[in-house]
Amino acid sequence: MNKAFLAAATALALAFPLAAQETSQPAYPAPSEIVAAAPKADWVAIPAEDLLVMNLAPDAEGKPRQVVIQLMPAPFSQGWVHNIRLFARAKWYDGTSVNRVQDNYVTQWGDPNYDNPEATGKPKPLPNGLKVMGEADYVAQIDDSLAYLWSKDPLYRADPNKSILALTGDPYSGVSGFIDGWPVSADTGPDGIWPTHCYGMVGVGRNYSPDTGSGAELYTVIGQAPRHLDRNIALVGRVIEGMEHLSSLPRGKGALGFYTAEEANKRTPILTVRVASDLPAGEQPAFEYLSTESQTFAAYADAIANRRDPFFITPAGGADICNIRVPVRRVADSG
Amino acid sequence: MNKAFLAAATALALAFPLAAQETSQPAYPAPSEIVAAAPKADWVAIPAEDLLVMNLAPDAEGKPRQVVIQLMPAPFSQGWVHNIRLFARAKWYDGTSVNRVQDNYVTQWGDPNYDNPEATGKPKPLPNGLKVMGEADYVAQIDDSLAYLWSKDPLYRADPNKSILALTGDPYSGVSGFIDGWPVSADTGPDGIWPTHCYGMVGVGRNYSPDTGSGAELYTVIGQAPRHLDRNIALVGRVIEGMEHLSSLPRGKGALGFYTAEEANKRTPILTVRVASDLPAGEQPAFEYLSTESQTFAAYADAIANRRDPFFITPAGGADICNIRVPVRRVADSG
């Protein structure tokens, strides 16, 4: 694979311009080229305790389908994260299934008999030791959240009006940006910071208020960011590998995209869900994310907001926070 | 299906709260309930000349897969729209295929041998009579575009700072809103209005600048709105039925999500593409959209920006333009 090929590939071109490859000499690197050139020190290891490994039943061709989810660190949603580790360690998720796929919205999994109009059996009993969270916990309560955000992110310090971080230009919050590798929002007034519903983020299904969900029902975003769910439901993590196994599933024909009883055979079985740190050392996957506090991330975000690589003719001059995806990569020599 | 069930269904709840249904009496209608109550006069018929009917090969279970695309009206992208009708009438698309599915980005179809690193044959010759468009045509050149936008949309007249239309709070443009049923953006300074890359929008694949694409290669957005493509590539329409047949296809393992030669069997064959007005009268599908100039649409957009239906506890107070999807419905008694 030669360099010109890579340049074209990373430009996310909507044709595949073989001819253009021969002469293309980009004056500006594409966002993915900036990431590829990041020094090792800019990558942060994700603790194995924060990795959830979900094995779905093999696909129609018999190929394995593994999904890896990164759980959120403090100060976000830690009660639900506690519950999710508890469910995994009780092997509670094993034998559940993907029960809902709603186009441009969410894929949801858990007990097919939990609050499902298509249920044919009784709900699975929940394990002991679950925390019951409150609605206030949808927002991380932090004194002077704006100062906290700025202290975390050098980009905010450098230019609090920088549109690349949607500090301006976000219809859903006063301020948006990144903390410790996660997209977050805050108000400019009251304290509190909350994670944002971007593509691939994982949340906790719940019943009507004041229910906040236990973590038995989980979903991931498979379309346009449903940011109206921010502060209305708990976000607990994101899919960092195998997203295509959840996003390309057949859509359900029932209300809200649930599979109907007639299409129950489309419910993808969940074989196992494990916390990576509980796996044998040789089987533990390892991942790292690009520090959102690094200069590489700043250059990456700037390049996304102002595309100058060869395919583009008119840079936007801004970007939605959900289009600035935090780079995550698998570490090959794990174990 | 009782009323309480409908209320829960339209709330897009992330659990399916059977218990809550019994007591739920929404004080505010959900967005979909507002649309369901729209008077007939608020719906606008889509001309059959603007409907493209694409039949994919049946799925693995032998079920038909039909996709209906609405082409954009003037003043947007009419040269490419001309070409697309020409391709369809020449039956040029028949026998082509879906060649690229990149997660959280696009599904692209056309000639598998067009600028494809995985090509195994020669490109299909193009028909005569195609228009060659310029890059200036990505933007509709309209004198005093802001006044034009306001004249079209009573919401703008009512309150040009209304955040529900992302008039403020859009990192990609000075102004965003709706014209004749389409999401559009404009600058507050120079003239010109352009369509926005929301989920399900259809665009024209192209090579490097100054190429602008002919319409032989088309794509649709299957993830977070890639608004950085606005003004960099021609948008020509949107998928209004059968989107799931394009969004749930297996992702390609090649560069940019192209299917590799080894997975060429995953390329979904395109059997036929026809302009609906060319079909026999009894076979013409008919659709209508909710007028974006109606008070119903204003109420719908407001309800999306300020969710007060029972599932929600904290309204966002704003919405991204790509989360205010223009309602489109099939007219049952067509022909």
Q: Which two tokens stand for residue B233?
A: 């590539």
Q: Which residue of B has its CA nearest to A108?
A: B14
CB-side exposure of A204: number of CA atoms within 13 Å? 33
Q: Which two tokens stand for residue B158?
A: 């009512």
- Our CA angle for B93, B94, B95, nearest 5°, is 110
Rounded to whole angstroms, the Cα distance separating B325 from B178 reads 10
B200 contacts A12? CB cut-off 8 A = no
E-only strand ranges, A22-118 = 43-45, 51-56, 65-71, 97-101, 106-110
Rounded to whole angstroms, the Cα distance separating B167 from B321 reads 9
What sign for the dihedral angle of Cα A72, B199, B285, A248? negative
Residue A115 has pLDDT above 60, yes or no: yes
B172 contacts A227? CB cut-off 8 A = no
Selecting from B19, B60, B251 the residue whose C-beta is nearest the C-beta of A244 gives: B251
Selecting from A117, A198, A243 the residue whose C-beta is nearest the C-beta of B103 gives: A243
Cα of B193 to nearest chain A Cα, Å: 14
Of A26, A28, A39, A32, which Cα lies nearest the Cα of A12? A32
Selecting from A20, A104, A117 the residue whose C-beta is nearest the C-beta of B208 gives: A20
Selecting from A18, A24, A103 the residue whose C-beta is nearest the C-beta of B117 gives: A18
Number of A:B CB contacts under 8 A? 236
Cα of A278 to nearest chain B Cα, Å: 29
Please report the pLDDT score of residue B260 as a whole number. 94
Cα of B150 to nearest chain A Cα, Å: 20
B168 contacts A16? CB cut-off 8 A = no
Please report the pLDDT score of residue B117 as a whole number. 65
B310 contacts A208? CB cut-off 8 A = yes
Q: Which two tokens stand for residue A45?
A: 């290891």
A316 contacts B172? CB cut-off 8 A = yes
B198 contacts A13? CB cut-off 8 A = no
User: Which residues of A fall within a CB distance of 8 Å from B254?
Assistant: none
Please report the pLDDT score of residue A246 as a whole number. 98
Rounded to whole angstroms, the Cα distance separating B116 from B267 reads 13
A209 contacts B313? CB cut-off 8 A = yes
pLDDT tens digits, one per residue of A168-199: 567 787 778 888 999 998 876 667 889 999 99
CB-side exposure of B99: number of CA atoms within 13 Å? 25
Q: Report residues of chain B scoring pLDDT below 50.
A: 1-25, 157-167, 334-335
Confidence (pTM)? 0.90
Residue A145 has pLDDT above 50, yes or no: yes
Cα of A71 to nearest chain B Cα, Å: 19
SS3 state of residue B101? strand
Q: Which residue has the tokens 């026809």?
A: B274
What integer is the mean pLDDT of A257-267? 94
Selecting from A199, A249, A250 the residue whose C-beta is nearest the C-beta of B224 gives: A199
User: Which residues of A fall within a CB distance of 8 Å from B248?
Assistant: 101, 103, 248-251
Of A179, A197, A187, A194, which Cα lies nearest the Cα of A322? A197
B307 contacts A20? CB cut-off 8 A = no
B228 contacts A19? CB cut-off 8 A = no
Domains and CATH numbers, chain A: 3-13+28-42+291-329 (no CATH), 43-121+129-290 (2.40.100.10)
Cα of B311 to nearest chain A Cα, Å: 5
SS3 state of residue B35? helix
Cα of A29 to nearest chain B Cα, Å: 16
Selecting from B24, B115, B209 the residue whose C-beta is nearest the C-beta of A313 gives: B209
Going by pLDDT thresholds of 50, 70 and 90, the confidence category of residue A83 is very high
Residue A262 has pLDDT above 90, yes or no: yes
Task: State the best of B101, B104, B309 to mutate against chain A, taking most chain A CBs within 10 Å.
Answer: B104
Q: Which residue has the tokens 């999306």?
A: B304
SS3 content of chain A, % helix, strand, coil (to 5): 25, 20, 50
What is the rounded end-to-end Cα distance, in angstroms, of chain A?
29
ipTM above 0.95, yes or no: no
Of B98, B99, B89, which Cα lies nearest the Cα of B67? B98
Cα of B94 to nearest chain A Cα, Å: 20
CB-side exposure of B143: number of CA atoms within 13 Å? 0
Please report the pLDDT score of residue A138 as a whole number. 97
- C-alpha dist (Å) from residue A302 to A174, A184, A326, B223, B274: 20, 18, 13, 21, 42
CB within 8 A of B211, min separation 6: which ones? A15, A17
Please report the pLDDT score of residue A20 as a whole number. 37
Of B203, B208, B233, which Cα lies nearest the Cα of B100? B203
B15 contacts A207? CB cut-off 8 A = yes
Higher pLDDT residue, A59 or A4? A59
SS3 state of residue B20? helix
Please report the pLDDT score of residue B186 as a whole number. 83
Rounded to whole angstroms, the Cα distance separating B164 from B178 reads 11
Under DSSP, the state recorded for A258 is B
What integer is the mean pLDDT of A205-221? 96
User: Which residues of B fall within a CB distance of 8 Å from A9?
Assistant: 255-256
Going by pLDDT thresholds of 50, 70 and 90, the confidence category of residue A162 is very low
Residue A117 has pLDDT above 80, yes or no: no
Cα of B7 to nearest chain A Cα, Å: 11
A318 contacts B172? CB cut-off 8 A = yes
For B88, phi then psi, to 5°, come to -65, -45
